[in-house]
Structure 1
């Protein structure tokens, strides 16, 4: 197992700043997802670590060795690409064995046989060793690409959106397989994705990027439940978070968020909470607002759209100047035009500064 460190790493392509001074420490054995939209800097980070690009400045360390000037083959890494890059004229066995047979490796044939079969068994593809890539499904090809990386026993695995070519059902299955693989081998994995579901379900840590800057680095729980700014809050989650512009102020001595059509008491135990009025943006996820067609709350809204999402409904409700996405029970049979009562869970309120977009809770930590 091997640590990875980026220290003040910068990279530009012409006038475009791809990374604006990255500091990132990846502990040995961690599964770290680099998450962000296209052009955010995540793929540049992976390519710098792989040696496919050279940093303009700063240091990149793998273990205790600075690798800025080392070629990819000397960095003790293995990379799995989006398109798998299997050799079509080689069998599965030959594809997995290829790194061991490369010039200068010096492995005896008996040792190659042992290593390849051991990796194939661990990935559940031992029965496929005589087949060619064209005879395999997408999921099987992905396992072979992983096996070819594993057989080298590298210090760090680099995975560049390896599931993006698979259908939705298979992606879910392969997320489980990759997570189980990491649990077994405990190697350091750096995984690039734009899919927040992949990052949340597989990672021990997530690094969220935007516009060439690291926005937040933490556990999936920290990223999801304690976002440091509005970008992270909105990017991470199945749906866009609800943002409501308003003001925090005291109402009869109780900290309260006030916005058109809304008056919501706030957890007064928050350290940043003050009785002094201040502008704020409330962020609240769909699962923290519940819509009911019957009385039970003073907050009333108008249903504009309803979506079926398996075991429940998601209703888009107009209240004041905001349209909010909310949960609702299937049995409620909500329709567009219905009036509903909304219940908010204050334990899941996130407040942000409307100017800096930074979390008010994070600003005091």
Structure 2
């Protein structure tokens, strides 16, 4: 990746719909060849950002730059961008090759037929559908249709490829397979990918740059591990992954609960929220730590999730790896312990 140049940039980008501000003055720079995931709850502005990149919406204020060029006012069909939609938008009356080559046939001046055929065949080979060129789109499986939509998007050789929750309609197993295929394709092409999703797992596993949005603003931008391990604020901590929260007073530089007892963690002063990931907690039948009772267990195969009721604290979520711990039954008394360094503290 060439970190000295950007394929995509927002400069004080704002979008209003009447009295509603969907995107509020955001700045963003995406390096060439990066895989960016824009993550956030419904209504946070992520799809509006995608549509402004694609030219389907125009900014109310600010600028969108693609490959260093301001594209405000330039229509979608004149931008070096292509989009893969959630529902693929394939033409049912066309076969696979005709769907993939549709955009090439609209170019002016017209490309020679032989050049279109060559580029369509090349794109289909990239998504491993070379043998399906003559198959009707509606005869393909969901995963195959997804790859046809990808081939149609990359055949024009865009600077930026936009992905609008393209895996949402797939079952979990197929979604995992397509995530790997997208990653492989992105590395082979070297094209900047921008993925919009509300699925945290999808964003963390695929992107090398994650942008978390809320209420039209960017709350944090960074590498997936940094966003997960070092969330910028309580919203990011809550939204990305699962989190246990404890209200603390922070008296005398010590995390103290409402009853005055100390909670192991980093020193702080003043009212705060202490947050702890479920996987950072060790659960055992014996030992030192916080004592409680298992109320629920969810078996997940390779792991298990427990709800543990702690007197004075309420329910605490714990995730254990089955390769290192045995299953514990609801109703059993347990002890919870953790590394105090794993506790995150946010102002209340």
CA contact (8 A) 1:2 1:188 kept: no
Q: CA deviation at 1:159?
A: 0.9
TM-score calculated relative to the size of structure 1: 0.89
Instruction: Give ranges in structure 1 of 5+ residues lacking alignment.
Output: 268-272, 355-365
- Separation in 1, partners of 2:70, 2:303: 52
- Separation in 1, partners of 2:313, 2:137: 55
- Separation in 2, partners of 1:60, 1:333: 52
Q: 2:173 is matched with which residue?
A: 169
- Separation in 2, partners of 1:137, 1:186: 27
Change (3 A) 1:236 1:209: same
Q: 1:247 is matched with which residue?
A: 249
- Separation in 1, partners of 2:46, 2:113: 39
TM-score calculated relative to the size of structure 2: 0.93
| SS of residue matched to 1:200 | helix
Q: CA deviation at 1:249?
A: 4.4
Q: 2:306 is matched with which residue?
A: 315
- Separation in 1, partners of 2:134, 2:317: 52
| SS of residue matched to 2:219 | strand
Query: Aligned pair count?
Result: 340
Aligned match for 1:41, one of 40, 45, 48: 45
Q: Does 1:264 align with 2:263?
A: yes
Q: 1:280 is matched with which residue?
A: 272
Q: 2:231 is matched with which residue?
A: 227
- Bigger drift between 313-322 and 177-186 goes to 313-322
Map of 1:69-80 to 2, 5 A cutoff? 69-80=73-84
| SS of residue matched to 1:23 | strand
Q: CA deviation at 1:230?
A: 0.9
- Separation in 1, partners of 2:307, 2:8: 44
- Separation in 2, partners of 1:108, 1:197: 43
Q: 2:346 is matched with which residue?
A: 352
| SS of residue matched to 1:310 | coil
Q: Does 1:184 align with 2:179?
A: no
CA RMSD of aligned residues (A): 1.7
CA contact (8 A) 1:292 1:332 kept: no
Q: 1:145 is matched with which residue?
A: 149
